[in-house]
Structure 1
Amino acid sequence: MPRPGGNPDLYKSGFQAAGDEPIIHTFNVKLAESMKTKLDSMGKRKSEFVRRAIAKALDELDKKSGETPTDN
């Protein structure tokens, strides 16, 4: 139930993932100050840029080795 005076259609107007797969997990990464500064300068585009960069890197790994590496 929405709070009094709130947006009753919040779920209709809320965040929607662009792809087929829901975006429900978070991941923390330690970065150099220069990398963080460059990412922060991207504004709202930062999250999508990082998701695409990770997806591209994972696809390249799959093509190289045929499987995702594990941390054993």
Structure 2
Amino acid sequence: MDYRSYEKRLEYLLELVEKNRFRSIEDVAANFGCSTRTVKRMLTHLRENGHDIQYDRLGKKYFIKKEE
């Protein structure tokens, strides 16, 4: 995967999280045609770049924590 397509996937992944449409790592990995580990690395990359992405165990979904 080249850098440009990786960046587009990161943007799409962030959009999924922002719109509460990111339900499972497995679904995203299947959609991207990559491994679940790659999706986890992408989430880590987004977190390192300042996005406060959290996982809700009860709701089984990812979300961006709002600042209070």
Q: Answer yes or no: same fold by TM over 0.5.
A: no
Work out which of the two has the higher radius of gyration on C-alpha atoms and give 1 or 2: 1
More strand by share: 2
Q: Per chain length, whose mean CA-contact separation is higher, i.e. which structure has more relative contact order (CA < 8 Å, sep 6+)?
A: 2
More helix by share: 2
